Structure 1
């Protein structure tokens, strides 16, 4: 029997395994995927959001706790547990030295991500390099790792963890950390959660999954059935508008189209439906998946002209190009007359200003609904480009309710030896909305807390008393 069992193989699970091992516990990590797909959604990430009161190597200026909290409060609309959110924020200030000791390297933000140079620390080599560094460190420290081991159930006794089951095998441990992700790859669950809309459509049938195919929510469902306290809305998720040609699973970050704030978005009826210039892209990019999900056919079209080229990260698939707007409407199969009227109304409403995509500039529309509040330039310089976009689900926010100790709760009472981290509890901090890099911040903070607490819970009683 090991001291600590960690279920999951992404950032949160690895942080928990490393912290528990550093605390002297024997650790076994069970990853559902084969080795080549290890790392869950973390392999698709790029950075984590960090509080800092002064410049720190790759981070410029300062990003104090209060500003981080206000950013989080704004994107969630207040749907967050302030105590746990501030805990995550404070943890983000001190985790990078520890990450470096485990082989993670950081780099300054690249062109196209400059809005984040003050707030987010980028991983050199991206999330895949971070995951590989953690696995190397875990193996060097003696953490046992089992791949192709999806856990399908837990044995619990009065809220206490006893064992986990996988493919007929039983894994006992003195304590356990659950970090097996949300249910975003479970298309049937997504379908049930989103239901049918007033047009008779099942929106989830048109969703793409940006992240791993292995997050089926099996363990989350098992915990819900076992009476664990739950938090969050099953339809809330990190949901981004991504290229409609992206694969069903594992498209990752390169399927994103970051041109929305530089152009206009129309639905398949050729009509605009939201303010494209509401706020900086890193704070707003994760609202567009949900907005598109509400449109007919769950599809939207990002329309730009040649003035936007070079001002956003080029996506992996080229857009549909045309020398005129009527030609673009036909190429995208949009109703030509409505589309041209939408663009003409938008162009006429644009007020002259000083365009600057690095600030909330004064280029806006007037007398237009919905407005475009910033970066509103007429779309009038050919060639024109259009991207068809669908909702891309990264991770779901339905999860297990927890507290500052990362304990799973049953009827309000914390489990003495079962803890949770990462996507399985992110809904405590993210009731809705998103701001770039905060998912990795939550996973890192709560992974480290859960690992420390699990190691402590696994100690013989007399040693635990000595710690207390």
Structure 2
């Protein structure tokens, strides 16, 4: 640990690994400081399944074309315009070259899944999921001679007059110092620090479930902000989805996500609907439901489905609650059976005839109902009936470090000399609110690669 490293990479997920690969390929000596034990390496990346990619024609497993204008419009739709257009377009344009680069590093892809995750044109799915991607990258950095240290909890990034000198950390509980000529910060957001979440959101945040890694506590982020790094993003904005209420407090991962919402009626603990379940296709709307549920009493909601729709979405990791009547289902879920029956009957009465198409916007809408359901509005009438409890599941937070288009971090006196950031720690530059399926991996891959190249160039 007495060595002076060319590039110190703080973090061990997708963005960190992409940075390490690029820096090592450029000839730099690289060390990765991963806060998690080896079995839990990879941060939130090990829970991912796909990468959103621009392409002007068929590319690898991707079909047709998904060009810049459409991609950017999709991003604007979910962020409601809260994005840095320059950085967003950089991420979008560069994503096209990233997919073949990923394949060269050993990442393998498979055709997209069916049902509500049918994204064959926009998203490339990892064969074996995010953990296979992470393992492929770790194999690659090993081949390149990168040193990886696990259980390396970075406590302080030593910055003097805007210049990085080294990091103070604990390695397996013992204090250590790692010095370097450049640093790439890719240590994620602060979502696993429940006290910080509660300060941002209020006490209700303690009811949130953290579907991602428990190791992203924002220690490096706070340290950098305390030293004058310029912040970007809103601490109350995050990638938060509706997940199964039976999921563990931390690290339940993507399997706890529920894709049933578009084909269901969603009610709060008072058995009242509160939002349009059929607003848009699920990949463009799933990430708003965490915040919607978070705003309900006790931060809980319930998805109600009948036998017509139970096979219309990806199967859940936990079986749904089942009953022969709506009243019985309500009681099993801890709701008023009578109140739930009244809500469902009101919804059924507002449904209108039409043709149901589960994989596209079908215009099958309610009439005279508030809030409306504008697609996939079939009466819930066919027993048995099914229900899931929903809780907000936070993946990552959007408060982060401001960077330029070379991924260099901005401080109080302008750009820092030799400090770069990539991944969730800077994603708030592009994601002001909302989320687009697979876009977190795009940001991490694009800016991880840029940061690694730039750090190595600085050292050279």
Normalising by the smaller structure, the TM-score range is over 0.9
Partner SS for 1:430: coil
Partner residue in 1 for 2:105: 102
Cα separation, 1, equivalents of 2:376 and 2:229: 46
Number of the residue aligned with 1:436: 437
Corresponding position of 1:186: 193
CA deviation digits over 1:62-100, x for unaligned, max 9?
100000000001100100000000000011101111111
Q: Please name the residue that 2:248 is paired with.
A: 247
Please give the alpha-carbon distance, in whole angstroms, between the structure 1 residues aligned to 2:305 and 2:371: 18
Instruction: Please report the RMSD computed on the Cα atoms of aligned residues, expressed in angstroms.
Output: 0.8
Counting only pairs closer than 5 Å after superposition, residues 53-92 of structure 1 correspond to structure 2 as 53-92=56-95
Please list the CA deviations of residues 299-353 of structure 1 after superposition, one character each: whole Å capped at 9, or x if unmatched: 0000000001211000100111000011111111112232111111100001111
Aligned residue in 2 for 1:4:
7
Is 1:169 paired with 2:176?
yes
Q: Give the SS at the match of 2:115.
A: coil
> So what's the TM-score if we normalise by structure 2?
0.97
Displacement of 1:113 in angstroms is 5.0
- Whole-Å separation in 2 of the counterparts to 1:193 and 1:386: 31
1:113-132 → structure 2 map (5 Å cutoff)? 114-132=117-135
Name the SS of the counterpart of 1:166 in structure 2: strand
> In 1, distance between residues paired with 2:377 and 2:39?
44
Alpha-carbon displacement from aligned partner over 1:34-85 (angstroms, at most 9, x marks no partner): 1010000000000000001111121111100000000001100100000000
Counterpart check, 1:157 vs 2:138 = no
Moved over 6 A (4+): none
Specify the alignment match of 1:448 in structure 2: 449
Verify the 8 A CA contact 2:116 2:359 in the aligned structure 1.
no
Residue 424 (structure 1) aligns with? 425
CA–CA separation in structure 2 for the residues paired with 1:114 and 1:222: 38
The 3 A distance-change label for structure 1 pair 370 and 269 is: same
In structure 1, the partner of 2:51 is 48
C-alpha contact (below 8 Å) 1:47/1:120 kept by paired residues: yes
- Structure 2: stretches of 5+ with no match in the other structure: none
Residues 300 and 412 of structure 1: CA distance in aligned 2, closer, same or farther (over 3 Å)? farther
C-alpha distance in 1 between matches for 2:337 and 2:145: 63
Provide the secondary structure at the position in 1 that maps to 2:393.
Answer: strand
Residue 281 of structure 2 is matched in structure 1 by: 280
Matched, 1:385 2:392: no
Displacement of 1:412 in angstroms is: 5.8
Instruction: Tell me, yes or no, if the aligned pair for 1:229 and 1:412 is still in contact at 8 Å.
Output: no
Q: Are the counterparts in 2 of residues 46 and 127 from structure 1 also a CA contact under 8 Å?
A: yes
Look up the SS of the partner of 2:72 in the other structure: helix
Superposed displacement of residue 114, structure 1: 4.8
CA 1:112–1:359: 2 relative to 1, 3 Å: closer
Superposition pairs for residues 265-344 of structure 1, below 5 Å?
A: 265-344=266-345
> Are positions 1:415 and 2:416 aligned together?
yes
Query: Contact conserved, 1:267 with 1:300, CA < 8 A, in 2?
Result: yes
Q: Which residue of 2 aligns with 1:198?
A: none
